[in-house]
A = this chain, B = another copy of it.
Amino acid sequence: MKYENFSTFDVKVEGAIATVTFDFGTVNVQGQEMLADLNSLAMRLEMDRDVKVVVFESANPEIWVCHYDTELLQHLSTEAVSRDGAQLLDLQAICERISKVPQATIAKLEGFARGGGHELALALDMRFAVRGKFKFMQMEVGMGILPCGGGASRMARQTGLGRALEIILSARDFDADEAEAMGTINKAFEADEIDAYVDTLAKRIASFPAGSINACKQMVYESIDKPIDEALKAEAYWLYQATSKTPAVKRFTVAEEQGLQHDMENQRNWENMVMDVQEIS
């Protein structure tokens, strides 16, 4: 797959890991150019059978993605719509499309992410941020609107109702430690630590079968949208989706032949064994 001709970010592919580096104007504004690029990126990722992990970072040392373009926002309609008449906004549709690509997606947050910028981060699978550099804010309430790139919808799925409401109603900056404590990011790091953690994680995931990465992530997203009895049926569906596309059976046969589950020493060593088994097929 070729990842070329983007105007708001650059994409580098090494092995099974793609790195998307936002680099657009002074502050990485999220306007029509970036939305078009993200949509085009999603379309390619959906068809890519080689890339398994996508890391999103920024060339700007202070800003990841700043926020949705105010130039577009000043043309917002001021007419209320009926519930049936509500059409998804481009930002919503594109964030949702990015959210469900078959790859594992990681936001590496080394600067500000506010408004639609932070909503894009929330649409990715995992978020890691740097202390003293990362801040996030949903400022929409103060501008007369609401977070409308999936932010109002996704916030409580990351942190409970009470904290989601404080984030969205207070329109203040939250730092990396607050974000970690509330669970909107996975983990906060010192500036010189984040690379090692994200690189190790990305390489680890990238060594696993694409079919099981996709099955795992689709299932986690489905689980929170369904009652448990339906979620369990979906789990079984995704299991067979995975086994039909991965070397699962061969791996378990080897594990069985090696007597894995009768050996205490192997049990202690699972974290490495999972990597070793990637050599099998």
Contacts and interface: CB of A to CB of B under 8 A. Distances in A.
A11 B83 CA distance: 35
- Copies of this protein, total: 3
Interface string A238-259: 1111111111110111011000
A169 B216 contact: yes
A239 B147 CA distance: 8
Q: How large is the interface on A (under 10, 10 to 19, 20 to 34, 35 or more residues)?
A: 35 or more
A126 to B, nearest CB: 5
Contacts of A225: 227-228
Given A148-B236, A211-B144, A243-B145, A156 B73 contact: no
Contacts of A162: 125-127, 158, 183-186
Contact of A274 (B89, B139, B163, B277): B139
Interface of A: 25-27, 29, 62-63, 66-67, 69-71, 73-83, 86-89, 92, 96, 104, 112, 114, 125-127, 137, 139-148, 150, 152-166, 168-173, 182-186, 201, 204-205, 207-209, 211-213, 215-217, 219-221, 223-229, 231-249, 251-253, 255-256, 260-264, 267-268, 270-271, 274-275, 277-278
Closest 5 CB pairs of A and B: A144-B248, A144-B246, A225-B227, A153-B231, A86-B237
10 contacts: A26-B262, A62-B268, A63-B267, A74-B249, A114-B270, A139-B270, A152-B216, A156-B157, A162-B183, A162-B186
